[in-house]
Amino acid sequence: MPKVSVIIPNYNHAPYLRERIDSVLNQTYRDFELIVLDDLSPDNSREVIEEYAENHPQVKTVFNTENSGSTFAQWNKGAEMATGDYLWFAESDDFCEPTLLERLVPLLDKNPDVGIAYGQTYLVDEQSEILNSYGKNLEFIYKTKAWENDFIKSGMDAAHEWLYFHNPIPNASGALIRKSVYMEIGMADTSMKLNGDWFLYAKILTHSNLAFCAEHLNYFRVHELTQRKRAQATGRVYLEIIEINNYLRQHIPGSDDNANKAMAKIAHWWIGSLFFQKRNNDYLKVNWKLYKIFRKYYPWLLPRIIYHTLFLMLRFVVKSTGLLKAAKTARQRMFPKKYFPY
């Protein structure tokens, strides 16, 4: 049996598939199988996938006859097919260094209590040009340089210190997951649209530990066709984050203070999203529900919403004059630690 099962869940990413698949097939660590699942893509993804399957016997393919509508359903389908000890969900629009498996497999081999091992990530654009290191994002969010060095950390500690406030694993493409733990915790939650990975890591890290390699091994593509971009247009993503908060609160004894602080931060994010969500049938119902939840954790919630509305009106005026870029530059100079330059 192979040590690693590489699972590529694809939907409509034909322009990036060759770079993705090549970066897997070119791994210096060779003990792996590759499972490519296509979720009835309307582009020419199937043609690309079949070409690789014809020329590489270790490539297995699954072509859905109906669209599942869920990346996480595809993860679970691939995990059930997998014969390896470790799972690598290599998203179809990302790519990686040829040494990713070589660097991450030993972290799981040598540490049987580790459920997730992951490497540092670069964010890249549609042309594969580097935008910035995700390590800078993590340093800004958590005010620590912890991700400058390799580490192995208690899963419960990582969940308590980090997972309440943010998902420190930028995307699954940079991580290896121990299959036995993945199956034990019930696999990924297919009801979640955006935060299923965050919820999955929360469940894994309340059952096992976390390993990190500070070397940049993964390239996470940021573009308009990502599920993240689509899902951010609805307030339902905040209901998912609240569900994660509740799960952590229940499974980490004595963590109520962090849970409450995180809820206040989530409320702040929600306020910022209100005017950028799509105005569909769910808009008022979902956001009214969120308002009633968040007012328990965020003092002066309504005045803050009014303040943010006035701020956005001012921003619109500044943008219309062509001075928005200059205003952002001035703000960054005046408050260098408050606003993230990327």
- Give the pLDDT of the chain (342 residues) as one tens digit per residue: 899 999 999 999 999 999 999 999 999 999 999 999 999 999 999 999 999 999 998 899 999 999 998 999 999 999 999 999 999 999 999 999 999 999 999 999 999 999 999 999 999 999 999 999 999 999 999 999 999 999 999 999 999 999 999 999 999 999 999 999 999 999 999 999 889 999 999 999 999 999 999 999 999 999 765 555 555 578 999 999 999 999 999 999 999 999 999 999 999 999 999 988 988 888 999 999 999 999 999 989 999 999 999 999 998 898 899 888 888 888 878 887 777 777
- Give the model's pLDDT for residue 181: 98
- Give the model's pLDDT for residue 228: 53
What is the CATH architecture assignment of 4-228?
Alpha-Beta Complex (3.90)
The string of pLDDT tens digits covering residues 98-116 is 999 999 999 999 999 999 9
334 CA to centre of own chain: 31
CB 199 within 8 Å of CB 240 = yes
- Give the model's pLDDT for residue 225: 56
- Give the model's pLDDT for residue 226: 55
CB 207 within 8 Å of CB 154 = no
- Give the model's pLDDT for residue 331: 80
Length of the chain as a residue count: 342
Strand partners of residue 177: 87, 116
SS (H, E, C) the chain: CCCEEEEEEECCCHHHHHHHHHHHHCCCCCCEEEEEEECCCCCCHHHHHHHHHHHCCCEEEEECCCCCCCHHHHHHHHHHHCCCCEEEECCCCCEECCCHHHHHHHHHHCCCCEEEEEEEEEEECCCCCEEEEHHHHHHHHHCCCHHHCCEEECHHHHHHHHHCCCCCCCCHHHEEEEHHHHHHCCCCCCCCCCCHHHHHHHHHHCCCEEEEEEEEEEEEECCCCCHHHHHCCCCHHHHHHHHHHHHHHHHCCCCHHHHHHHHHHHHHHHHHHCCCCCCCCCHHHHHHHHHHHHCCCCCCHHHHHHHHHHHHHHHHHHHHCCCHHHHHHHHHHHCCCCCCCC
Residue that is written with structure tokens 């008022």 in the block: 284
CB 88 within 8 Å of CB 201 = no
- Give the model's pLDDT for residue 310: 95
Burial 83-95 (b: 16+ CB within 10 A, else e): ebbbbbbbbbbbb
Where are the domain boundaries for CATH 3.90.550.10 in the chain? Answer: 4-228
Q: How far apart are the first and last CA of the chain?
A: 43
Sign of CA dihedral 289, 290, 291, 295: positive
- Give the model's pLDDT for residue 178: 98
| pTM for the model | 0.93
CB 163 within 8 Å of CB 199 = no
